[in-house]
Amino acid sequence: MKLRAIALISFALSACGPPAPEPVTASEDIAAPPPLPEGAETVVFEAPSVADPQPVQTASGAADTSDTEAEKTVYWGVKEGEPLSILWEDLMPEGSEEELMRQYEEFYAMLEQRYAANTTTLADADPYAGIAEGSEFDFMPQLGTFDTVEELDGEEVRIPGYVVPFDFDSKARHTEFLFVPYMGACIHTPPPPPNQIIFIRADPAVRIDDIWTPYWIEGTLNTEKTENDLGNTAYAMSMSKIEPYLAP
């Protein structure tokens, strides 16, 4: 099952002028998140296509493969020294999607049982229609696991996604933030599984002008467990580059 299916189940961040704002880290939680733009939709991220290297013709007409051998990709279509382009499903080891589906089924079954135990009439039989905002039934925990793909530990990677800052002040610069696979995750929808969130460390701090715009982020990916109020993570990254997402 593709990650976007999981996202749907979840439905349900100078000397003459004023001093620069202090960088914001995960220990600070200042401004409230902006509302989700009406009609905004998450971009469906697609893997970039990789062209096969073509042999070079020599003067004699024979194919010269010496240069093409050096140009051949070495891992998932990436040349040596370039970051590895990955998608979010690449972060989920075998069996983790099935485990996530099992946890969702278990959670909704538990929710229905708890709601049924607190109803007195047939009119209350729908376990979702009568859930009041802010009630004990109006919640969604972070499900999933911290299981990771160990082969990615220490890899230089490039991945598209959405920024979730710990402070939503538009003028703030960030040294730490979360990176997630779909719009609104962790702030307007429940958090994805821990192995579908990356804890980003940025040095120097960066300013994020629009959290509803997807970005490419590059850096060194590590399997590292972090915990915070927005969403626990199974991966962390030392970021080297961030740029607006352009479809392959």
Cα 120 to Cα 112, 123, 157: the distances in Å are 14, 8, 54
| 134-170: pLDDT as tens digits | 445 446 789 999 999 999 999 999 999 999 999 988 7
Q: What is the pLDDT of residue 88?
A: 97
Q: What is the pLDDT of residue 120?
A: 56
Pairing of strands 156-165, 84-85: parallel
Cα 62 to Cα 55, 56, 198: the distances in Å are 9, 8, 48
Mean pLDDT for the stretch of residues 118-125: 54
In angstroms, rounded to a whole number, what is the distance separating the alpha carbons of residues 191 and 239? 21
The pLDDT mean for the chain works out to 78
> Does position 69 have pLDDT exceeding 70, yes or no?
no
Q: What is the pLDDT of residue 55?
A: 42
Of the listed ranges 17-21, 95-99, 241-245, the one predicted with least confidence: 17-21
In angstroms, rounded to a whole number, what is the distance separating the alpha carbons of residues 68 and 74? 12
Cα 228 from chain centroid (whole Å): 15
